[in-house]
Amino acid sequence: PLQRREPSASRRPPMRHGLRSLAIAAGAIAGASGGLVSRPHAFSASAPAAISRRASSVHASVAISKPPLPEVVERAPATHPAFELVRVEMVDEYTIKVATYRHRQSGAEVISAQADDENKVFGIAFRTPVEDSTGVPHILEHSVLCGSAKYTSKEPFTELLKGSLQTFLNAFTYPDRTCYPVASCNTKDFYNLVNVYLDAVLSPRAKRDPTVFAQEGWHYELDAAEEPLTYKGVVFNEMKGVYSSPDQLHYRALKKALFRGHPIYAIDSGGDPRSIPTLTYDAFADFHRRYYHPSNAKIYVYGDEAELPTAERLALLESWLAEFGSSRGGGDEQIPWQPAEPEPYEVSEPYPVDAAAAAAPTQFVTLGWLFPPSPLEPSKKLAWGVLNDLLLGKPSAALQQPLLASKLGSAVVGGGYGASLQQAAFSVGLKGVAPGDEAKGRVSALILETLDSIAESGFEQSAVEASMNTIEFRLRAASASPMKGLSFMMGALSEWVYGRDPIEPLRFEEALASLKEDVARRGGAVFVELLRESVLENRHRCTLSLVPEPQLGGWLQAAEEQELSAVRERLSAGELKALEEETRALRAAQAARDDPADLAKLPTLSTSDLTASTKSIPIEVDEVAVAGGGRATLLTHELPTDGLVYLNVGFDLARLPIDDVPYVPLLCRMMSELGTDTLDETAFSRTVSAQTGSLGVSTMTSAKPRPGGAAGSPDEAVAMLMLSGRAVADKAPQLFDLAADMLASTQLDNAERAVAMLKQSLARAEAAVVSSGNSYASAALAARFSLCGSVDEMLGGVSQLHTLRGALEQAQGDWPALLARLERMRSALLSADGAVVNLSADEQSLATTAAHVPRLLGRLPSAAAPSDGGWAWSAGGVLVPSHEGLQVPTQVSYVAKALPIFQPGERICGSTSVVSRYLRTAYLWNTVRVQGGAYGCNLAFSRLDGRATFSSYRDPNLAATLEAYDGTGAYLRSNPLGPSELSKAIIGAVGELDAPQSVDARGVTSMVRHLLGVTEEERQIWRDEVLATTAADFVAFADRIDEVAARGSVAVVASESAIAEANVALPEAARLQAKAVL
C-alpha cells in the first residue's frame, strides 16, 4: 500500500528476467559490485566426499551472534544409488550444509542445501552460449514455459502464477547461461513447481510446435493482403524496448567493446531486434537439443531437511533424469577466455535521441578494463569489492567525487567492478557529456589522471575502515533476506557454470580474515596495489563513446519497413493468402481456451491447503514526551534480527505547503549525502559507513482507507519524510547520533553539490521515462484521482522532470533563493512533537536500543517552524476524463487507463483482490501479452482508495490495448469460473497476502498498518473474504470495471508516430493530446 522513494533511485520496470533485490543479495554473497560483470568463482568436481567446516579465528568488526546449529542443518545428507556424493561442507557464514552430487547416468550436477528456512528453492541452469544476436536462448527461455510433454496446457507458467503459493517463479537469460528458479514456503506447492519446471525445460512443447516460437519469438503478421506486413513477437517487442533505452544500449555496447571478437560475449544473447527475424524455427529447436540436457545442467535444491528431506529431493530428481544418458550430441558449451589486448583502443556506437527534444543531445564516455584471462582468488575478489566501494561506493568516493565535480557530465556510469561473466572487468565513465572528441578526451583524461593520483596518494585509513565495514555488513546481512536461498543459488552459479567451485561464493570468513590481516599490516596499500595491477598497468583498456544520433530511430524504423516491404514483394498472391490464414490461425490458437483435460494434468493445491488465519507482526505502541509538552510515537517490534537494529524516524510532509512538495526529493538527497555542521561530506559519509549498515532519508506515501475497510477519501493521504538506518546492536548509540546529525545538522549550503545532484537526478529520470513508461503513465493518471496520487506524481512523475529542470536553473542562477526554500522546508518538517520512531530488534537488543530514543528526539526542534502547510485537492480529474500522450523516443508504448471504481466510504471486499489478480494472469495476459505481443501487462487495484489502473509494458500496440482494457467486463460475464479456476484464483491471492518479507520490511509493514489505522481484525476479515470468494463476485466486479471503460482517463508513454497512428484509429473524443516530455 505504500510508495517508498529513495532520494537517488530512479523508477525501475517490472522485470521478468531479473529482480533488482535478488541481484543485490546475490552480488553481496559473491562479493560483487554493480559493474559490467559480477565476479566469477570455482567448482571442484573431484573434491572428496568429506565434511569440512571452516571457521575464522579473526574477530569481525561487525559482530553478530550465531545461534547453535539447527537440527535440520546438522543432519547428515542422504545418499541415493543414482547419485554419487561428491562432497559435503558446512557454510558457517549462513548456517547451511551443502552436499554436492553427480547423477551417475546423465552427468547432471546437483547441490542440495540444508537450511533452517521455511522458504524452499529449486533451480536448474544450463550453459547456453550463443553464436549470433538472434536471441535464441532468450526466446527459448520464454518458450519452454509454454507447455510440455506431461503438462499439455498452453501456458503452465501462467497457470502456476494463477494458483500457486509461489514466493518466486521466474527465469533469467544471461549472456552465457539460462536459469529457471522457483520457490515456495509450502512443501506440496514446491514439489508441484519443481515437477512443472523440470518437464518444461527437458521436454517443452516448443520443440515440437512452431506456434510457440512464433508467439514468443517472432512471426510475420498480415491481417489483409492489401495491408502492410509487420513483425510481432513477445521477445521481439521486449528487445525493441531495450534498444530504445540509452542506458541499456550503453551496457550492451560496453560488453561488446570489451570482449570484441569474443564468440559469445561480443553478441547479444537477449537478441537484437534487427537480427531476431533471421532466427529459424529449426535453429531454435536445435539449440534446445544441444544445450537443454542434464549433462549440461546445474541443479540446486534448498530447504529445511525436516520438510524437504534430501532422500526425497534425490528421488524426485532421479524420476526426471533416469531417461537421459550422458551424451546429447551437442556442441562445446565451454566459455572461452578473452585474450588480453596489447594496446588500448577506442570504440564508438550511436544511440537514438529525439530530434525535437528541448535539451541538446549528449554522449556517454566510458573507460573499461577487462581483467586477465584467469580466475581471481577469493581474497582478491573480496578486496575488489572493497576497492570498488572506495572508488565509487558513494558520492564522496575517491573516483566518483572528482567525476561529479568536473561538470563534464550529468551522472557517473559504468558501474565499476563486476564479474558475473567468465572474466572480471572494471568500467567507469560519464553520461550527459557534450558531443565531440574534445569532450570525450577530457573525460578520458580525467579518469586516468584521477586513478593515477589515487595510486600515488593512496587511501586514507578512515576511508578504508568505512568501506571494509560496508562490504562486511552487506555480506553478513544477506542472511536476513527472505529469498536468501535463491540468492545463494545465483551466487553459486556465478562460479559453477565455469566449472569452478560453487560453494566458494557462499564463503567469506576466510577471505575476510586474510584481507583484514593484510590491511592491518599494509593499510590502504593493499588496494593501491590491486588498482595498479588490474587497471593502471592493464593494457586491455577500451574507451567507448556512445554518441547521439537524432536520425537513428527513423533509420531503424525505415529499414524495418523496407525489409518487410521487400519480403512482401517476394510473396505471391497465394503466399500472401497463406500468411493471412497463418495470422488468423495463430490468433485463434492464442485465444482458444485450454482443454479442461489438459488443465487437469497440472498439479495444484486446494483451498484446504491454505491457512485461514493472518500472520501478525508484533508491535508495541508507546508515547514519548518531548520538550515543550509535545509527544512522539514510539513503535517497537521484537523480531529475529540476528543482532541487528533497524530504525525509522518519520515526519509529516503535510506540514509543507503543497508547492514545496516537488522539492522534497532534492531535500532528501541533500540530507542523505552532504556533510554536517561539524563534519564535511567525506568525513560524515565515512563515519556513517564505518558505524552503520546504511543511513538515509527518503519519502513514504499512501492513500488512507476509512475504518472498516472502506475506500478512503481522495483528499486524505499519509505522506512522510522518513529516515531509515540499520546497525549492529553494539553500535546503536552511534546509529542514533548519526541519525540526529543527518536530520538536524546537515549543511545544505552547497550549491556545487546541489547542481551535481540535480543533473544526476534529471539524467536518471529522463532515462527512466523511456525505459519505465508504465510507471510514469500510471502516475499521471493517479494524480487526477486523489491527493496521494497527486503527491506521488510530484515526487516521481513527469512533473518531477520539470521541477528538476527548474531547480537546476535556479541553483545555477539564484542559489540563495533555492537554499532558503530548502532550509524553510527542513524547519517546517523537523519536529520531535508528532514524530514517529519505529524500531525493530531482537529481544536482547530492543530495550537497550529504545533507551536511545529520547536522546534522538532531544536533538530535534521541540516543535516545527510555522509554515503554510495544509494540502487541498480538486476532484475535477475524476469528473472529466483525460487522454494524454506523453511523447518520448521509443520503439514501444506504455499504455495506461484508470478510474476509482469505489466511492469514498464504500466498503471494499476482499474478493476484489482475487478478481483483479485473476484478470492480470488470465484475460490481460492472454489479450495484451500473448495475442498483442506486449512484454507485460497489469491491472492494479488499490484496496485503500478503490482505484483500478490498467497498464502495459513494452507494448507494440496502443489503440488495440485500450480496446482490450475496455473488454474486461464483457470477459468476466461471458467466461464464468468453474470450481477449479476459482480455487486457483483464491490460492494465488492468498499467496500474495503471505509473501515472505525480510525482518526490516516486516517492521516497516507493521508501522504502515499503524499509520493507516488498519487493524488485525480488518486484516482477518479481508482474508476471510478472499477465502470465501465465489464466481458471482467475478460477475459483480464486471459492473465496477466497466466504469473504467466508460469514464476512465488514459495516459500513454509512446513515440510521436505511435501516438499519431493511434489517433487515427481512436474516436475523436478519445484521441490523445500529445505532449513532449524530453
The answer to whether residue 23 scores a pLDDT higher than 80 is no
**Do the Cβ atoms of 13 and 774 come closer than 8 Å?**
yes
Q: What one-character-per-residue DSSP string does 1021-1047 give?
A: HHHHHHHT--HHHHHHHHHHHHHHHHH
* Cα gap 443→429, rounded to integer Å: 8
How many CB atoms neighbour CB 93 within 10 A? 21
- The mean pLDDT of the chain is 91
Q: Which of 328-332, 454-458, 877-881, 1038-1042 has the lowest mean pLDDT?
A: 328-332
pLDDT tier for residue 838 given thresholds of 50, 70 and 90: very high
pLDDT at residue 418, as a whole number: 86
Mean pLDDT (whole number) for 470-488 = 91
What confidence tier does 869 reach under pLDDT thresholds 50, 70, 90?
low
Confidence at residue 873, expressed as pLDDT on a 0 to 100 scale: 72
pLDDT of residue 862: 87
465 pLDDT exceeds 70?
A: yes
Q: Would the CA dihedral through 469, 475, 479, 481 be positive or negative? A: positive
- Out of 141, 333, 981, 1025, pick the active-site residue: 141
What stretch of H or E contains 562? Answer: helix 552-570
pLDDT-derived band at 67, boundaries 50, 70, 90: low
Q: b or e along 745-766 (b: 16 or more beta carbons within 10 Å of the residue's beta carbon)?
A: ebbbebeebbbbbbbbbbbbbb
> What are 494-503's pLDDT values in tens digits?
999 999 999 9
pLDDT of 712 strictly over 50: yes
User: Which tens digit of pLDDT belongs to each residue from 714-757?
Assistant: 999 999 999 999 999 999 999 999 999 999 999 999 999 999 99
**In terms of pTM, does the model score above 0.85?**
yes
Strands 836-841 and 166-169: unpaired
Q: Is 517 a catalytic residue?
A: no
Average of pLDDT values for 1011-1023?
97
Angle at 13 between CA 1000 and CA 958, to 5 degrees: 145
Instruction: Decide if 140 contacts 172 (C-beta within 8 A).
Output: no
Compute the CA torsion angle 707, 711, 713, 716 (nearest 10 deg). Answer: 70
**Residue corresponding to grid cell 527542513:** 826
CA angle 824, 826, 832 (to 5 degrees): 125
Residues in the chain, total: 1078
Return the pLDDT at 876.
Answer: 61
pLDDT value at position 740? 97
Cell 514446491, located at residue: 190
> How far apart are the two ends of the chain, measured CA to CA in Å?
30
* 319 grid coordinates: 524420476
Q: How far apart are CA 1054 and CA 354, in angstroms?
A: 12
Number of other residues whose CB lies within 10 A of the CB of residue 715: 15
Report whether pLDDT(4) > 50. Answer: no
Give the pLDDT confidence of 206-215 residue by residue, as tens digits.
Answer: 999 999 999 9
- The predicted pLDDT at position 12 comes to 28
Beta strands in 500-630 (DSSP E): 501, 541-549, 620-625
Query: Of the residues 89, 93, 109, 216, which is catalytic?
Result: 216
Does residue 970 contact residue 611 with C-beta atoms inside 8 Å? no
Instruction: Assess whether pLDDT exceeds 60 at residue 943.
Output: yes
- Res. 57 pLDDT band, cuts 50 70 90: very low
pLDDT value of position 420: 81
The set of cell numbers assigned to 444 is: 578520458
Residue 9 has pLDDT above 90, yes or no: no
pLDDT for the residue 372? 95
Yes or no: say if 65 and 55 are a contact pair by the CB < 8 Å rule: no
The predicted pLDDT at position 229 comes to 94
The predicted pLDDT at position 885 comes to 97
d(Cα 836, Cα 452) in Å, to the nearest integer?
A: 47
- Whole-number percent of the chain with pLDDT over 90: 86
645 pLDDT tier (thresholds 50, 70, 90): very high
Instruction: For strands 541-549 and 345-352, give the pairing.
Output: parallel
| Confidence grade of residue 148 (pLDDT, cut at 50, 70, 90) | very high
Q: Considering only CA atoms, which of 331, 327, 412 is closest in space to residue 364? A: 412
What CA–CA distance (Å, rounded) separates 6 from 672? Answer: 10
Q: What are phi and psi of 632, to 5 degrees?
A: -110, 160
Ordered alpha helix ranges (H), 624-726: 664-673, 681-691
Band (pLDDT 50/70/90 cuts) for residue 329 is: low
Indicate whether 46 pLDDT > 80.
no
**Lowest-confidence range among 142-146, 332-336, 438-442?**
332-336
Quote the pLDDT of residue 875. Answer: 65
Q: What's the distance, CA 945 to chain centroid?
A: 26
Nearest Cα residue to 205 out of 279, 124, 288, 283: 288
Distance separating alpha carbons of residues 133 and 613, to the nearest angstrom: 50
Over 402-461, what HEC string results? HHHHCCCCCEEEEEEEECCCCCCEEEEEEEEECCCHHHHHHHHHHHHHHHHHHHHHCCCH
Residue 298 bridge partners (DSSP): 109, 125
What is the per-residue pLDDT for 50?
Answer: 31
pLDDT digits (tens, 9 = 90+) for 523-560: 999 999 999 999 999 999 999 999 999 888 889 999 99
Which residue would you say has higher pLDDT here, 108 or 46? 108
Q: Which of 799, 813, 801, 795 is nearest to 761 (CA)?
A: 801
Query: In which element (H, E) is residue 509 found?
Result: helix 509-522
141 is catalytic: yes
* pLDDT digit string, tens, across residues 967-1001: 999 999 999 999 999 999 999 999 999 999 999 99
SS3 411: strand
pLDDT confidence bin for 877, thresholds 50/70/90: low
pLDDT band at residue 478 using 50, 70 and 90 as cut-offs? confident
